[in-house]
Every structure is written in structure tokens, then in C-alpha cells.
A and B are shown apart, each in its own frame.
Chain A
């Protein structure tokens, strides 16, 4: 993946696991000087408000550490559920699949670097 990190969420997450994930992820972003994170939820058939919040948190966290986050592969039924729950996940970038997600990340990062607007450690 080069400068990107791919996180694939396949199982039901509970509190502990989610916190562990956020921890591991933030450490990895820092260690590998990651510019972009892809969160792949294409195998998730159900998403609740907890996962929604977790993704939003990871996204925010990543941004602060200088990495852009893209959520990829949401299934139609999941999208409808989130919308009905009122979880629009504003501020979280999305893409249809990993390929598109990487293209989006590339565009965003190149754009940000052109403006010279990165906060990186």
C-alpha cells in the first residue's frame, strides 16, 4: 500500500476491540508516517450507531495526526440504515471501493500538499 494504511473491519466490534483498534491505528499512523487511511467495511452487513461513531472518531483522530481517512465499501442496506438512524457521518470521506478510495486519497493529499497545509509530526 505504500503510504496508505488499510483497515478491514470484519467482525462485530465491541468497546474494548474498538479502543484497541484506535490505539493501534494512531500508533501505526505515526510510526509509518501514513498520509492516508482506508477503512474497509465491505463485509459488514449491519452497522449500528456504535460503529458509526467509531469510524467518525478514527477519521477525526487520523486528521489530527495528518492522515486523511476514507470509508470504503459500504453496502446499500447499511447506508440506508445509517441514514434512517440519522447518522450521516458528516466530515467522513467515502468511496465505493478500495480502488476509488485510494484515488480519492491521492487527490486529496496531493491537493493538500500543493497548498502546503499539512500538520505532520
Chain B
């Protein structure tokens, strides 16, 4: 293998590369000190070097999607994910790779000596290679962040529509937040299943926490009401705020005879009456 190639430089000068890179990293990412230990950074750098050396030895092609680069790719994905969790930004994460350029170019220059052609060629190849690796980490970083967001969204969806038993045969569903079709689906499934499980006769949908009710939201509410009716349960909508009442009237929304109450207390009293119980003060 010729002297000035990336692969030979990586093998022969790994110590110098590591030292030089560590210095550059410290300068480029001063804010990293709090979030990641010097030890961890050093270990990651060492592993990156080793894997890069192994990959470039097996292939001179710069295509990082090739199988020879798989271990390196997987390592970078791991680094990217952990950085995302540690709270680094995506460019801070990519800087980890890009800051390797200067040390590597320096060693390539030293190894090439007077062979300017090899130097130019290898420098370009190294640049392309490190660019692709850097972009790969950014891509993985974005994906990891999106996974976190999706998971949080899912959890919010689950938590925000609990079905509670108010009394024998009476269920309540306090709704918080906007009601879209995805949520309505979840709500209907949970609620209807609970009706079957508890044999409830009345479900009170409390919309105190729903910020606005437009025709779309009203449609979703009515769907839930209809589904309940088909299963033989009755529905009362409570927590109707004055502004909501105005909006409903102005929009001309037809509530199709659904009973509505301003607050949960009134709805409960009505539900108790309908199921044959009553409250005594």
C-alpha cells in the first residue's frame, strides 16, 4: 500500500491523529465539558479512528453505504443517538466528525512528502469521506429526535383521555386539549370498551378542557355520541363554556338532541336521576 493513502496514514499515525484531534475537539466544543466526560469523548474518538482505519483498509471506494463501512456507520449512529439524548444540537454532533479533517489532512501532507498528486487526490477523498460520515450522523440525529417526539405525542394521547367511573353505571371522560380525528378514534375505542366492561348506561363527556369547538370538533363529538347510542348507552356533554355555547349557535351546529350541561355537577345529578339514584344534600 502506498505511503500517502488515507488508509496507511490512519494506521501509521493513529497516535498523532488522536492527540491532534483531541485538541481540536476541545477547542471546537467547549460547551461539551458539562454534558460528556473527557473519558467518553476520548473513547469515542479512539473507536472512530479504529473503525475508519479498518474500513478504508478494506476498500478504497468512498461510498459509506458499502458493507465495509457498516461497523463504522453503526458506531456513528450510536454516538448520534446518545448525543441527541444528552441534549447536543445536530451541528455539535457533526462537529465531532468534521473536526477530524484538519488532523487528517495534516498527516496526509506529512506522509505525501513531495508527491503532490497523491496528496491532492487523497485530501479530496478524505474530505468527501468525512463529509458523508458527518451527514450520516446528522441524519441519524434527526431521526432520533423525531422518535422522541413521536413517542411523547403517543404518550400524551394515551394520558389525555382517561375514562373514569363516577358512579354505578355512570362513566365520565374529561377531555383536555384539541380534539382531532386521531384522538377521537382513541377516545371512542377506550370509552366504548369501558362501557362494555362496566355495563355503564351513561357517559358524560366533559369538554371544559377543550379550547374551541368548531364544526369539525362538533362532528367528532357527535360521532362519539352516536357510537355510544348504538351500543345502548346515553351521552351527556358537560363543561360547555359560554363562549363555546355562542360559537355553537353562531355556526349553526346541530347537536341532534344531545343533552348538554354547563358543568359536571349538573350532568352528574341528571345522570343519577336517569339511572334511578339521587343525591341528598
- Number of A residues contacting the other chain (C-beta, 8 Å)? 21
| Interface of B (DSSP majority class) | helix
Are B195's CB and A82's CB within 8 A?
Answer: no
Are A96's CB and B196's CB within 8 A?
Answer: yes
Q: Which residues of A, 67-88, contact B by the 8 Å Cβ criterion?
A: 71-72, 74-80, 82-84, 88
Are A76's CB and B196's CB within 8 A?
Answer: yes
Q: Enumerate chain B interface residues (CB-CB to A < 8 A).
A: 185, 188-189, 192-193, 195-196, 199, 201, 223, 226-233
Give me the 4 closest cross-chain CB pairs, A-B, nearest first: A76-B192, A95-B232, A96-B232, A79-B227
Residues of A within 8 A of B199 (CB): 96-97
Are B192's CB and A80's CB within 8 A?
Answer: yes
Are B223's CB and A83's CB within 8 A?
Answer: yes
Chain B min CB distance to A69 (Å): 13
Residues of A within 8 A of B193 (CB): 76
Interface membership of A94, Cβ < 8 A: yes
A71 to B228, alpha carbons, bound, how many Å? 13
Residue on A nearest B192 in the bound complex, by CB: A76
Residues of A within 8 A of B233 (CB): 96
Residues of A within 8 A of B188 (CB): 76, 79-80, 83
Residues of B within 8 A of A74 (CB): 230-232
Given contacts A96-B196, A96-B199, are A83 and B227 in contact (CB under 8 A)? yes
Partner of B226 from the list A72, A78, A88 (CB cut-off 8 Å) is: A88
Interface membership of A120, Cβ < 8 A: no
Additional A-B contact list (5), CB under 8 Å, known A76-B193, A79-B227: A76-B227, A80-B185, A88-B229, A96-B231, A96-B232
Given contacts A88-B226, A96-B196, A96-B199, are A76 and B232 in contact (CB under 8 A)? no
Interface membership of A89, Cβ < 8 A: yes
Residue on A nearest B197 in the bound complex, by CB: A76
Chain A min CB distance to B233 (Å): 7
A3 to B134, alpha carbons, bound, how many Å? 79
A20 to B5, alpha carbons, bound, how many Å? 86
A89 to B227, alpha carbons, bound, how many Å? 10
A104 to B234, alpha carbons, bound, how many Å? 13
Are A80's CB and B232's CB within 8 A?
Answer: no
A88 to B199, alpha carbons, bound, how many Å? 21
Chain A min CB distance to B13 (Å): 66
Residues of B within 8 A of A71 (CB): 230
Interface membership of A53, Cβ < 8 A: no
